[in-house]
Every structure is written in C-alpha cells, then in structure tokens.
Structure 1
Amino acid sequence: MTDYLGLTWDHPRGRKALEAASGDLGDGDTLRWEVQSLEGFESAPIDELARRYDLLVLDHPHLGDARVSDSIRPLDELFDDGQLRAWSEAAVGPSIASYRVDGRLWALPLDAATQVSVRRRDLVLDAPTTWDDALALAERGLVATSLAGPHAFLSLCSIVVSLGDAPGRGGPLFDRDIALRGLDLLTQLSAGAPEGTALLNPIGLLDRMRDQGDIGYIPLVYGYVNYSSPTIAFGPAPAFEGRIGSTIGGTGIAVTRRSEPSPALLAHLRHLLSPEAQTGFIPQHDGQPGLRAAWTDAALDEAAHGFYSGTLSTIEAAWVRPRVAGYIPFQSAASALVRAAVAGQRSPDEVLDEIEERFAPLRTTDRLEEVRP
C-alpha cells in the first residue's frame, strides 16, 4: 500500500479533473494532489519539487533541469513501446513531441495549449487574420498584450515565428532583423492597452476581458477553454503571409525518481490519457485535453463554443521551446528585457544583445533539438 502525492497548478483546468480522479487507486494505493500558483508552475525549481512529490505536472521547458538533476523517470521505464507509440500518434500538435528529448519521452501530455487569439464578440465582430488587422484594432484602443511573467518573451517568440524565424535552430537565438520587427510590432500592439493589463497573467487578462469589457482583442494569449463562451471567442493567432506563429504550452505529467509507481498508479495514468477520459471525464471537469480525438470531437467543440476548431490550426503549427538546463531562469530574464523594450526603457538592439548573451551559455549545456509540428 502506497500513498502517492502529486503537484499541479491552482486553476480549475489544472486541478479539478486530477482531484476528481484521485483517491483510492485500488490495491490499497491512494493518490492526493496539492497545488501551486501559476507563477510557481512557470518558475519553481523542478529538482526541489521532485524530492517532495511522486507526480509533477510540468511544462516542457522544465525538462532540461529535470534531466540534469535526474529528477524524473523516462517513461519507457514504465510503459511499453506500443503504449508510448499510441500516445505519440494520438496527441494534438507537438504536445507530446515537446516532452521527448534524446529519443525518450519524459512526461505524458495531459493538457494541450498554445498561444492563440481571443476577442469579445460584442467589441470585435470579425477576428483579425493578419498582424496589420491586429494593429488597426490596437489604434482603436481595443488590444491588450500578454506581457507578465514569461509571456512577454513568449509573445515575441510567437511573433518572430510568424515572421519566418525559427528561434534556437542554430547560431543566435533570433534572426536580428526579424526580432527587431517583432519587438516593434509587440510595442505597437501594446501602446494603447488598457491601464494595468501589462501586469496580468493570462488568467488575469481573460478574467478582465470577460468581467470588465475594456479589452476587445488579445492577439497572443494561452488558450483556456474555460473562458470560451457566447461572449468570448478564441481563434487562430494572426498570420504574416499566411504563416501562423505560436509557442506551445500545456502541461505534462512526469513521474519523479522518488516514486516507485505501482501497477495501480500506472493504470491510473493510462486512464487519464485514454480517449474516453480525454473526450469525456477531462473536459467534464474543466480540463483541456491533450489528444487530437478531443480537439476534433464535434460535440465537444460545440459545447466549448468553437474553442477547439477555432484554435486547432494554431496548435498544430506551434513552436517548441528549447529543453535545456537553465532555460527557465533565462526565460524570466528575457521576458523582463522584452518588457523594458516595449515600455521604451531600453533600446531594442540593447535588449536583443543581452538576450543573446544570456542564451549563449545554454547552447553548451545540452543539444538543442528542433521539434517540427
């Protein structure tokens, strides 16, 4: 008999399904979940958490530090090749590929998300399709941008992907000319944002859009099916010359080295990733599934007011961040630099120089793998 302890993030999307499915696993085993804030999820040291928990809900950029500290188990130690292959074929977009490093899978794609656009239907009747369209809305004071925490840097990455760059593929992190264009675009989009929105994380932005009605459109924000409604519509990120740019997020479940998973716990994880749970139990408990079967389910999409069909093309084309040791603190520092450029406190060239200087040591810590959608 084993009492397992897991850690997830404190939002209905992150915890309700896991809590509802936990408890008695059978054979005398139990599972209980604790929660941490969204900010903790985005930045907490993974090796410290792995010493306290058996299961961790994490984001794929944590894999670099987790692997260096040997904090989590590769899943081929726990599941057979057939099961891993089935999950790989079933996952939406690069959600499972983002957890695969050096040919091994390190977490299960419980939840899939990427940066998409969102609008209030009463304020913005037709969703922008291009960055020029988004700029036109910004000039009317209807646009807010996602800049808090790591999101300023992630928004810049999504924009430069749309403009034709592939960050981290080789040499410098960014193509300088494209990055300068991207910073300028992000600055223009942010210039007329409602006061105080630059301090809000994605949940705060979506709460404000829903409750206060002073945000008509956000061109890049992590999609939350919980907010999709007759008033709030999610859709593709804006495109440049037909190319969508977005940065994959979502969450995976990792098994820590401290854990000795029993057959009952492994059966529980298989159930959470089953098509039945992903199209039924998970969305019924405010979750956002990671399997394509859910994202293409017509009834589920209708109940979610078109969230899945509206954002599927964006998640399928999403960019995957580097999975290298030291990436999480780099991301936080880079985002602060991007905010300084957007606010006019630092010159774009100075900011990009410092981002490249901070990123350069990361290139020597591990092999950077490019994941193609």
Structure 2
Amino acid sequence: MSTVQATRSYRGLTWDHPRGHVALERAARDARAHGLDLRWERQPLEGFESHPIEDLAERYDLIVLDHPHIGDAVAGGCLQPLESLFDAASLAAWRAQSIGRSFDSYRYAGTQWALPLDAATQVAVAREDRLEGALPRDWAEVLALARRQPVCLSLAGPHAALTLFSMAAAHGDAPAAGDPDRLFTGEGAGEGAVAAWELLRELHALAFGGWAALNPIGILDAMARQPEAVYCPLVYGYVNYAVAGDGRQPLHFADVPAGPTVQGVHGVQGAQGPRLGSTLGGTGLAVSRRATVDDALRRHLAALMSPAMQRDFIPFADGQPSAREAWADPRVNAAWNGFYARTQATLEQAIVRPRHPGYIPFQTEASALVRDALAQGLAAAPALAALQALYARRRPAGSEV
C-alpha cells in the first residue's frame, strides 16, 4: 500500500508594489507543479521599511526585508543562517553574480542571513520632456537647475536621513564607516558631512515642497503624472516607472550627481575621484526560525537566484534583479528604456547602511531630526551634533555596524 506525503505549506510576506510581489507570486504558482505550496501576503512599503522583523518572523516562513533590519533580527534570533540551508559553493556563486554590495549587505556577524532577490539604490530621475538642458552631472549643477526649474527632494519617512547619508558619502564621509562610534568622522562631524549638510540646506530652501509627504513611489508616480517638478537628484529607483503607464509619462532615470573629487571614501574600498553617493536599498529574502525547510522550498529559493531566473524572468515580471548580468543585458535594457544601464554605476558604488540592533528606530528619529533642522535652517554644527547624540543613544556599545 503506497502513501502520499503531505505537502508542507509556507507563508511568505513581501511588500505591496508590483516590484515586490509580481515575480514572487508568479514563481510560486509555477512551483506548485513541483510540490511547493507557498502563499505570499503583502504589506505596505512603510511596513517593509520599519515593521519589527521579530514580530513578522513569528507569523511567516519567508520574509522579504531590508538589510538594516538584520542586526535586530540576529539579536532576536528569528532568522535561519543560510549556511545551514545551502552549501558554500552556492552562496559563493550568488555572491559573485550579485551587483554592488547587494549580497554582502545581508551578511552580519560573520553569517549570511538573506538572499539578495532585488537590487536598488537611490538614483536621479527627470521628466526629460520638460527639463531645460542636460541632466545635472554634479551637485553644483543641481543647485543651478533648482534656481531655474522645480526640483524636488525625497525626505518623507526614513528618506531624509538617507538623502543626507548619500550626499555625505558623495563628499567622502559615508556614515559609520570610519570610527563605528561616530555617525560621521572627525570632531563633531567630518568635513564631508558638513559640506553635505550645507548643500542640502541650500537645496531644501530652493526645492519644490508640494510632494514633501510622499514616499519614493509617490514621488515617481507624481512626476510621471503631473507637471510640478522636473528632477529629483536622489530617490530610490523603480524600473516600473521607466516606461509609460496608464496616465503616466515615462521617467528618465540616471546616475546620481557626482560629488567633488576625493582621494578616498570611508566605506568604499579603493574609491578615488568623483563619487556617486547613494545608499543601497533593494530587498533580501530571509527564512524565519519557524520554517521547516524541505527540498521543494530549498530548490525554489535557489531557482530565484539562478542566472536564468534573474535575467529572463524577474525583469519581465515587474521585478528588479540583483544579478549584475541582468543589469547589463541588452534585452532587459531595451524593455525598460535603459533604466539598468543608466543607473548601474550608481548601484555599484552604493554604500551599505549600519545594521546594528536599534538602527531602524534611529533611522526614523534621525529623519525627523533632519526634517526639523532643515525647516529651522540650522547650520551644520548643531544639526550634525544632534544626529551624533541620537546615534550614540541608539547604538548598543560595542555592537557591529
């Protein structure tokens, strides 16, 4: 008498945007024929950015997360190390194929905690049909454009702090990359952070403020539909907006403005010359402690990371792959108006945020502090000193960044 083994069911949580769920849901449907029962649920972008991972890991087997959550997840013991699920050769191959630091951003305390399903960073975006002249090449040209035409900034939610981090990195001062006890280097703050703050303060005074409450998706949608702003120098890139949609004009994505020429940049190995300061985003696919991983799920996760899936499936299912080969692929770029080729250099240079326990509340509070300081027109010294004091309170002493 034969017996049929029951199929194990899995629950996954991703975020509620086509880039976050279409490819995962289609792949899961296809995998049912191979014995995998995986159902995906969705949460808003704000939940993806800030909801505690420990809570999600109690309810879901697979979690699509952002790399700054890793420190809290490790401290809470709520994720499975990928070394326990995959052999070293597979992990090494996925690391080698991944663009920029997208794979390494999910490595913490000597262990890999998630697979880089999706790669993204802040890029520049323009309504090229309304822009007078060429896209700005550096931050001086951004200021010049803002004096002629409406330029917007992405400062809602956590993005005020992330904008400052990227501008500081462009000026040679990536956050927590030198002395881990200091958000920026030097006495009070490094020269790069000071220059970045004064630049941001001047640009904020000039910028179009009508979309100040919008997250990156909202800004891109507004730019594609409305005539108010023609350019944003730093906003997380979404390939979906590179082509025309229902009532939407296509947006032109490009590398971020370059900073001044510097001899080296903290947090960027071998960096020299003008810097494309940007803060890495993207998503990682993590396995919670509650999951009992069977061969069907293990095969499915490996398939999502395969070069063929990354190049031939994910880009054509509204996704944004993490494999460098896909970003350089002519067919992929032809389908998406060159989005990948135009922004690849920025992604290759993007910095990784701190990931220590307590980083997420720090990022939330730091962004509110940046917005308040900009509204008050504070100079660099008091603004950066307040950020440093907040960082010191939120980072556990001696923790890895």
Residues 184-220 of structure 1 show CA distances to partners (whole Å, capped at 9, x for unaligned) of 2112222233342111100010011000021111000
Write the letter of the residue equivalent to 1:184.
Answer: E
Q: Secondary structure at the match of 2:59?
A: coil
Aligned counterpart, 1:189: 203
CA distance in 1, matches of 2:398, 2:44: 29
CA distance in 2, matches of 1:262, 1:25: 14
Residues 17-48 of structure 1 show CA distances to partners (whole Å, capped at 9, x for unaligned) of 11111145456440001100000110001100
Aligned counterpart, 2:303: 271
Which residue of 138, 151, 156 maps to 1:148? Answer: 156
Gaps of 5+ in 1: 369-373
Which residue of 138, 149, 156 maps to 2:146? Answer: 138
> Are 2:230 and 1:216 aligned?
yes
Equivalence map 1:286-301=2 (5 Å):
286-301=318-333
Q: Secondary structure at the match of 1:199?
A: coil
Shift, 1:123, TM fit: 1.9
Equivalence map 1:210-289=2 (5 Å):
210-229=224-243, 231-240=250-259, 241=261, 242-289=274-321
> Are 2:172 and 1:164 aligned?
yes
Q: Is the 8 A contact 2:98 2:323 kept in 1?
A: yes
CA distance in 2, matches of 1:5, 1:347: 48
Aligned counterpart, 2:13: 7
Aligned counterpart, 2:75: 68
Residues 51-86 of structure 1 show CA distances to partners (whole Å, capped at 9, x for unaligned) of 000000000000000000001011000000110000
Equivalence map 1:116-131=2 (5 Å):
116-124=123-131, 125-131=133-139
Write the letter of the residue equivalent to 1:239.
Answer: A
CA distance in 2, matches of 1:366, 1:26: 45
Root-mean-square deviation (CA), in Å? 1.5
**Percent of paired sites with the same residue:** 50
Write the letter of the residue equivalent to 2:215.
Answer: N
Gaps of 5+ in 2: 1-6, 245-249, 262-273
Aligned counterpart, 1:99: 106
> Are 2:65 and 1:58 aligned?
yes
Shift, 1:350, TM fit: 2.8
CA distance in 2, matches of 1:214, 1:285: 30
Shift, 1:257, TM fit: 0.3
Shift, 1:347, TM fit: 5.0
Q: Secondary structure at the match of 1:172?
A: coil
Structure-2-length-normalised TM-score: 0.89
Q: Is the 8 A contact 1:25 1:264 kept in 2?
A: no
CA distance in 2, matches of 1:269, 1:37: 23
Structure-1-length-normalised TM-score: 0.95
Shift, 1:354, TM fit: 2.1
CA distance in 2, matches of 1:108, 1:226: 22
> Are 2:400 and 1:367 aligned?
yes
Mean alpha-carbon deviation: is it higher for 245-254 or for 191-200? Answer: 191-200
